[in-house]
Homo-oligomer: A and B are copies of this chain.
Amino acid sequence: MLELRLVQGSLLKKVLESIKDLVNDANFDCSSTGFSLQAMDSSHVALVALLLRSEGFEHYRCDRNMSMGMNLGNMSKMLKCAGNDDIITIKGDDGSDTVTFMFESPTQDKIADFEMKLMDIDSEHLGIPEAEYHAIVRMPSAEFARICKDLASIGDTVVISVTKEGVKFSTRGDIGTANIVLRQNTTVDKPEDATVIEMNEPVSLTFALRYMNSFTKATPLSNTVTISLSSDLPVVVEYKIAEMGYVRFYLAPKIEEDEDETKPET
């Protein structure tokens, strides 16, 4: 039996909005430590990893590990029916082919039960090793979303280049080129407005803007985003979820053969 009570139900609504366009169907895994998900996007290019730790729930009961296959579009339809101040409880029974989302209004005058059919989904759980990154950029999530949206009006890919002084986002398209430079800036009034760069060595990597823009759907989850880059690893774009977990997006860099820095392969 499973019963997970989340007082700040709006978090779960935001989590679904952040991943439902990228992933159609996925298994949610419940264990004593938390509620998690790992899934490839439908074109098998990007990977999403979600974790909501058990400590973040007001009540967390998970008698034994369960994996529940859900259609994220349908789940999102149901969660949209929860008010932003509602308490959300996820309920499941062993062997049942349904999951129930219960929404309680703060005054307890309105109680809704939404029961959704579960699906059988084949999935393999990838081990994601902890890695050392060449550069880690922490910046305001709204600024990152703005930059990805702006660049997508000019080109299809973004080159992210990190030096000690700052991070540069560049693109090129039919109508011209664009370069946006953010300087490292830690002397701000609010810590979430800072742009902080931890760099071991400079990196310059190219990514599809379509995926980056998809990742920024998670912007409402957190004021800051962390972008971890290495020349031989997928980028990690991470949004922390309050005190209880994260949504992480992984995307492999594009190999651009016509870039100046590319050496001939002879």
Contacts and interface: CB of A to CB of B under 8 A. Distances in A.
A183 B74 contact: no
Contacts of A181: 110-112
Interface centre among A107, A109, A154 (most CB of B within 10 A): A109
Given A109-B182, A112-B150, 15 more contacts: A71-B175, A77-B175, A78-B154, A78-B176, A81-B151, A107-B185, A109-B185, A110-B183, A112-B179, A112-B180, A112-B181, A114-B154, A115-B178, A116-B175, A117-B176
Interface of A: 71, 74, 77-78, 80-81, 98, 107-117, 143, 150-151, 153-154, 175-183, 185, 195
Q: Ordered nearest first, which 10 A-B pairs have the shortest CB separation? A: A81-B150, A116-B176, A74-B175, A112-B180, A114-B178, A109-B185, A115-B177, A113-B179, A115-B176, A77-B153
Nearest to A181: B111
A60 to B, nearest CB: 23
